Amino acid sequence: MICKICSESLLHSRKVRFLYGKRLKSYFIIFCNKCETGQVNYFPSNEEIFTFYNNIGTQKLFETKNKKNLLRFNKLDSLLEFIFFKSNHNTKNFINFLDIGAGTGRYCKQLQDLFNYNVEAIEPDKTKCELLKYFNIKYHNETFEDFYKKNKKKFNLIKLSQVLEHVSNPLSFLNNINKIMEKNSYLWIDIPNCNENYFNSRNNDLVGHLFFFNAKSIQYLSKLTNFKLISIGSFGKTLKKKSFKENFIIKLKSFIYLYTPLLLLNLRKKYMYNRYKYKNINFSEESYFINSKMKFFENNFENEKLFILLKK
């Protein structure tokens, strides 16, 4: 097996147990000695990945009762403010914005409401696309790879939030993104911050992650795909080392998970999903429009999410 990023052999590499990789047949995370990227020991086929994500059971954020969406954003979330500040963007200049893995589409919606920019969303999840449609956001219900094959447009700003850790080939993924970017345009990436603290404090990596980047490995990959570094750092909750007792419980839980038949795990999942659905039934459309005021810490890697702003 070789590293999917730098092609170094992974034969004598360090590995740790992948706590919840069972559904995707991955049991270990292997770390490359050269570029420090962590990757799963087994890469599922596209079909296996597709089945996995279609069984997650996404829910719509809120019921779209009104026929037409009437509410608007009147301010940007701090994430977009930070990107515009670091890229010296004058908001009077029109841009083409692409959000890959747009989710509920709040960033597209903000740029559309406030500046009337051309925004496009790529979202493989059908349920999430219902919201994008409701908000009148131009969306593509497919993967980036399928979008890329037919796309002829170039973009000035591309956002990739919590996506890169899920794709089976981050190297070709970023190379292709580079090709659809205008010169002097920007790419925002955020991913889980998988440094030593992450591996000492994680209680799950359940959600189909195939790659585990830290500050060094994400910079290595950015350089390899011909991007220039503008800013790097972290945001979100602080990664705290867990106590011996907490770690013991986590290990025990993942051990039980490993040896419990999938049938039982699926039953439990169904039960949890219904409970979760019930709990969130009162999420309102108004709350979607409350701005997030997340803080971004440059050159600081103590928080759970890693960000990198790149320029082509």
For Zn ion (CB under 5 A), the number of binding residues is 7
| Pairing relationship of beta strands 228-238 and 211-212 according to DSSP bridges | unpaired
Among the candidate windows 26-34, 80-88, 173-181, 282-290, which touches Zn ion by CB under 5 A?
26-34
Q: Does 29 bind Zn ion (CB under 5 A)?
A: no
Q: Does 6 bind Zn ion (CB under 5 A)?
A: yes
Nearest approach, Cβ of residue 34 and Zn ion (Å): 5
Distance CA 98, CA 66 (A): 27
Distance CA 132, CA 104 (A): 7
Distance CA 202, CA 239 (A): 9
Both ends of the chain: CA-CA distance in Å?
31
Among the candidate windows 5-13, 119-127, 152-160, 173-181, which touches Zn ion by CB under 5 A?
5-13
Nearest approach, Cβ of residue 220 and Zn ion (Å): 8
Among the candidate windows 3-11, 174-182, 276-284, 287-295, which touches Zn ion by CB under 5 A?
3-11
Nearer to Zn ion, 62 or 198 (CB): 198
Q: What burial letters (b/e) apply to 47-84, b meaning 16+ CB within 10 Å?
A: eebeeeeeeeeeeebbeeeeeebeeebeebbbbbebbb
Distance CA 155, CA 230 (A): 18
Nearer to Zn ion, 34 or 133 (CB): 34
Nearest approach, Cβ of residue 37 and Zn ion (Å): 5
Tell me the CB-side half-sphere exposure of residue 72, using CA atoms within 13 A. Answer: 7
Contact 32, 8 (CB under 8 A): yes
Among the candidate windows 2-10, 103-111, 188-196, 225-233, which touches Zn ion by CB under 5 A?
2-10
Nearest approach, Cβ of residue 171 and Zn ion (Å): 10
Nearest approach, Cβ of residue 192 and Zn ion (Å): 18
Centre a 10 Å sphere on the Cβ of residue 23 and count the other Cβ atoms it contains.
17
Q: Look at residue 174 and give its three-state secondary structure.
A: helix
Question: What CA–CA distances, in Å, run from 263 to 23, 53, 295?
Answer: 11, 17, 42
Out of 19, 32, 76, 131, the only residue in the binding site for Zn ion (CB under 5 A) is 32
Among the candidate windows 4-12, 23-31, 61-69, 134-142, which touches Zn ion by CB under 5 A?
4-12
Q: Does 3 bind Zn ion (CB under 5 A)?
A: yes
Distance CA 149, CA 155 (A): 15
Q: Does 8 bind Zn ion (CB under 5 A)?
A: yes
Nearest approach, Cβ of residue 127 and Zn ion (Å): 35
Out of 19, 24, 30, 35, the only residue in the binding site for Zn ion (CB under 5 A) is 35
Annotate 90-116 with DSSP letters as a single string: -TTS--EEEEET-TT-HHHHHHHHHH-
Nearest approach, Cβ of residue 33 and Zn ion (Å): 8
The count of residues in the chain is: 312
Q: Does 10 bind Zn ion (CB under 5 A)?
A: no
Among the candidate windows 31-39, 49-57, 107-115, 197-205, which touches Zn ion by CB under 5 A?
31-39
Nearest approach, Cβ of residue 4 and Zn ion (Å): 8
Q: Which parts of this chain interact with Zn ion (CB under 5 A)?
A: 3, 5-6, 8, 32, 34-35
